[in-house]
């Protein structure tokens, strides 16, 4: 896969999971010259931290922090191909989400509803992916 496409998919993925932590000063990327690996997602799903008035990107949520994304400047003005991410979101069935929930250790789920909130968010993202991708495209114009 072409590196520019990897950058596009990485930026779109970070917008999807609201991971604001992949920027120039802290790229959170491992690169061996041929492959790229994304790491350090502890700031994803910001709604779990109780941000006031937070909205998902497809519903008008704030995206200005993604202008500091490690790939933003290189992608500005680039036509985006998000077919692969679109297909992955479309294939994210309720059954698969339940499998993800079952794989989380009970100790991690005890005394919080983060798993349920994330699964509900991912269901909404699946249903609103066209609007999500339109927002990302608009941000990069």
The total domain count for the chain is 1
CB neighbours of 133 closer than 8 A, spacing ≥ 6? Answer: 12, 80, 82, 85, 86
Instruction: Please give the pLDDT value at position 53.
Output: 86
* Confidence at 95, pLDDT banded by 50, 70, 90: very high
Q: Report pLDDT digits (tens) over 12-61.
A: 999 999 998 999 889 999 989 888 899 988 889 988 888 788 899 999 99
The CA distance from 22 to 67, in Å, is: 11
* Percent of the chain clearing pLDDT 70 (strictly above): 99
Instruction: For residue 26, give its domain range.
Output: 3-140
């Amino acid at each position: 896969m072409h590196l520019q496409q990897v950058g596009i998919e990485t930026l779109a993925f970070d917008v999807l999971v609201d991971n604001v932590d992949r920027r120039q000063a802290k790229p959170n990327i491992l690169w061996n010259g041929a492959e790229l690996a994304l790491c350090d997602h502890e700031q994803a799903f910001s709604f779990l931290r109780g941000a006031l008035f937070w909205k998902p990107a497809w519903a008008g949520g704030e995206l200005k922090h993604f202008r500091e994304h490690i790939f933003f400047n290189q992608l500005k003005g680039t036509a985006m191909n998000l077919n692969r991410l679109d297909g992955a979101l479309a294939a994210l069935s309720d059954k698969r989400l339940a499998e993800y929930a079952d794989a989380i250790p009970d100790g991690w789920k005890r005394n919080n509803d983060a798993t349920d909130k994330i699964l509900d968010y991912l269901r909404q993202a699946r249903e609103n992916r066209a609007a999500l991708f339109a927002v990302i495209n608009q941000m990069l114009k």
